[in-house]
Amino acid sequence: MTEPLPSAHLFTHEELSQRELSSAEQVDHLVARRGAVDSSGPGLNTLIELNPEAMTIAMELDAEVRDGVTRGPLHGLTIAVKDNIDTADAMLTTAGSLALADTRPSRDAALISRLRAAGLVVLGKANMSEWANLRSPHSTSGWSARGGLTRNPWDPMRSAGGSSSGSAAAVAAGVAPLAVGTETDGSIICPASYNGVVGIKPTVGLLSTVGIIPVSHSQDAPGPMARSVRLVAALLDAMAGTDHFLTACEDVNIAGVRVGVVRDHFGAHTGADAVTEKAIDALATTGAVIVDPVPAVAFPEPNNDEDDQALAVLLHEFQHGLTAYLSTRPPGGPRTLAEIVAFNHTNADAELTWFGQEYLERAALLPGLDSSAYQTARANTLRMAREDGLDAVFGAHEVDVLVSPAFPPAPVNDLVLGDSVGPGGECTTASAIAGYPILSVPIGFVHGLPVGLAITGPANSEQMLLRVARALEAQLGLLDAGALVPPTL
C-alpha cells in the first residue's frame, strides 16, 4: 500500500515553505494514496472525487517557484474541500445529495478564491454527512447518497464522525495534508476528535460563507483541519487573508493563561476523562493557571423536537438560506427545499434506504425568518448561550479559555440504527449558538482510538486557542513521536 507522507516530508519543522517535495510530486503521491485507502484496501471513502485539474495546477505552481515566486507558506500544497463548498471547476458540489448532482456551481466560494490565491491545489471533494446531518434524527454520520459511508482510518468499523467526515479522515489517512470542513454544531470538532486531527471552528463571520451550501447563517462557519496546530493556523491565515494566526501559535509560552475546566462535560467515557486529566496536568506544567471547576452553560432539555428551540432556529434558517443558495445554481437542478424532498421520494432506493428526511420535510413547511416562532427561539437561545452563558462564565471566573473532553472515542458504524445516542459532545452547543470559536486537538488514545481536547474561547479569540493548543501539543509530544499516524494504514 502507498505509504502516507509524514508532515516532515512536506515541510521542515522550522518553516512551512521549505518543502522537500514539489507540488506535482505531492499530487502524484496523494492520488495514489487515495486509491490505496479509498478505492481499495480499507475502503475509507474519504474523497468523493478527485480534481482532474489538480496536476496541471500543481505544475503551474511549481513553475512559479522556479521563477522565484511564492504566494505564501502553503504555496503548492494540496487540500481536500468538503462537498458543500462551491468550486467552479470540473467537480460537483452536492452536500452529498444526488439532487444536486446534475449541475455545477458557476463560481468559486469566496474561501476557495482565497485558497487558490494562496497557492493551494484543491485535490478533491471530501465526503460528508448528507445535508450536514440535518436530514433526519436517525441519520448515520459520514454517510451520503453520493459518497457512501466514510470510515475511520484508526478502525474502519468505527465512525469518522460528521458532518466533516471525509475532511478529517483524509487528513488522518494521509490522503491530504490539509482539509476544509464546515461546522454548525460539532461538525468539525467531532470528526477532528474521532480521527485524531486538529480542527477549529472560528468565530462565525470571520470567514465568508458565500458559496457554501448553508444550514444556519447564525451558526455556520468553515474551518481548517490538519494533523498539526501550526498547519491549521497557517491554513486559517490563508482562508482569512491574514498573517497572524501562524505567528500566534509559534508563541508556546502560556504561563498565566487562565484555563477553566468544565467538569460538567466529563463523565461520558472514563477513558476519555482519564486522558483529559493528563492533558490538564500538561497544561499546568506549562504555567497555565488551571481554574477547576467552572460551570457548563445549561440549556433546558426539550420534551421533543417540536419543543427544541435550538433546532427550530436551524430549520428556519436552513429553509431560508438554502432557497437563496439554490437560486445561485445554474438551471437544471432544484430551486426549493420542497423540490429536494420530492426528488428524494422519487429516488428513494438511493436516497432513503437507510434513514428518512424528517428534518427536510419539516423545514420545507416553515414560514420565513420574520415569524415570531423563529425570532423568539433565536432571541432565547442566543441569550442563554451568550449573556447568561459563555459571557457569564468567562467573566465571573476570569478565564481565557474553557477545556473539556471533546467527544468519547469513535463508536461503531451502524447504518441500520443510525448514530448512537450516548452522552458526550455537549461542549459544542453553547459555542455553536453563540457563534464563538472552538478547537479540538488530539491528546491521546483510548484502546487505540484517538480523543481530543475541546478548547473554547470568547468571540475572536482564535489566536489564544491556537497558542494554548500548540503549547499542549508540544508538551504532549504525540505529533513529534509520529503517534498520530493510524498504524493500520
Q: Which residues are catalytic?
A: 82, 163, 187
Which three cell numbers, joined as nine digits, stand for 4? Answer: 502516507
The C-alpha angle 397, 398, 399, rounded to 5 degrees, equals 95
Output the DSSP codes for 278-345: HHHHHHHHTTPEEEEEEPPPP-PPPSSGGG-HHHHHHHHHHHHHHHHHHTTSPTTS--SHHHHHHHHH
Furthest-apart CA atoms within the chain: distance in Å: 64
Q: How far apart are CA 481 and CA 18, in angstroms?
A: 21
Amino acid sitting at position 454: A
Distance (Å) of CA 383 to CA 220, 221, 312, 348, 378: 18, 20, 15, 40, 8
Looking at the chain, the number of H-run helices and the number of E-run strands are 17, 15
Amino acid sitting at position 159: S
The C-alpha angle 374, 379, 382, rounded to 5 degrees, equals 120
**371: alpha, beta or left, given left = phi > 0 and alpha = psi -120 to 50?**
beta
Q: Report phi then psi at 417, rounded to 5.
A: -95, -10
Q: Report phi then psi at 372, rounded to 5.
A: -65, -30
- Read off the DSSP letter of residue 470: H
Output the DSSP codes for 380-449: HHHHHHIIIIIHHHHHHHT-SEEEEE--PSPPBP-TTT-S---S--GGGHHHHHHT--EEEEEEEEETTE
Map residue 464 onto helix, strand or coil: helix
